[in-house]
Amino acid sequence: MRTIVFSDVHGEPDIIDAVLAHCSFDAGVDRLVFAGDAIEVGRDSSRCLDLLAELGAECLVGNHEYGVFTGRPVEDEPLDPELVQRVTDSIESGRWRLAAAADGVLITHAGVGKRFAVDAESGDTGGGADLIARVLNHEFEVAVASRSRKAGSIVGSSGPLWWRPRSNGDPIPGVTQIAGHTPAEILAEADAAAHWAARGVFLIDPYVRGWRTRDFPPPVPIRYAVIEDGAVRVVEGA
């Protein structure tokens, strides 16, 4: 079984269609994980949510979804109340979580620094992707219950919704990760994606290719990860 992971479609349903076609997604065999930021920026956030639901994708929360949930959206634009309610229902119900694991690979929206490698009960670091995902999701449930925006919490600037490896610490040692939400300071660096892949963090944000800065010209960007037999490969196309 393959696990297909993609993220950051930002209101552009054509990206979803393009990824599925490019990877020859088999709904009866493959696992599909969406790593956050389905909404805002683009032209049809509601259609993106529709497609993800129709596909039965396992969805993770991005910083854009969590911003809408807490009443502090990332983008300065009016939002359809129905869209806000859909995002709120998805997060409050637990349908959209913070983390997932597949074949020993940790998947979050922005990546995770080593401070979150600690098991809250035992104090032991590591424990593998499955344990880390469980701990992250438990802490996220607590944050959701209080609509937390606390900077030092799981939803703060160093957590899996906003993590910046340059300013918020090294990635978790020995744990392979997949993340979207690629920050501008990384995009500005030559061979940044290859550099972080060598450190075990595979970046799948399609805007790594610079598409967002060029006013959405066709073709839509394709960048996703395939996890198979514990190995990760990142695929690009057009």
Percent of the chain with pLDDT over 90: 59
Burial per residue of 10-30, b for 16 or more beta-carbon CB atoms within 10 angstroms, e otherwise: bbbbbbbebbbebbeeeeeeb
User: Per-residue pLDDT for 150 more than 90?
Assistant: no
Better-scored residue on pLDDT, 47 or 124 = 47
* DSSP label of 181: -
pLDDT of residue 51: 98
Higher pLDDT, 98 or 41: 98
Closest CA to 70 of 145, 152, 162, 180: 145
Q: How far apart are CA 138 and CA 18, in angstroms?
A: 33
Confidence band (pLDDT; 50, 70, 90) for 167? low
Bigger pLDDT: 93 or 124? 93
Average pLDDT over the chain reads 87
- The predicted pLDDT at position 166 comes to 60
Distance CA 226, CA 178 (A): 10
Average pLDDT rounded to a whole number, residues 93-112: 96
Q: Note the pLDDT tens digit of each residue in 40-90.
A: 988 899 999 999 999 999 999 999 999 999 999 998 888 899 999 999 999
Question: Would you give the DSSP letter of residue 120?
Answer: T
Looking at residues 189-203, what average pLDDT do you find? Answer: 84
Average pLDDT of 141-146?
94
Does the pLDDT at position 177 exceed 70? yes
Q: In the predicted model, what is the mean pLDDT of residues 98-126?
A: 77
Q: Residue 195: is its pLDDT beyond 70? A: yes
Cα 209 from Cα 145, distance rounded (Å): 36
CATH class assigned to 3-237? alpha beta
Q: Read off the pTM.
A: 0.91
Report the residue count for the chain.
Answer: 238
For residue 183, how many other CB atoms are within 10 A of its CB?
18
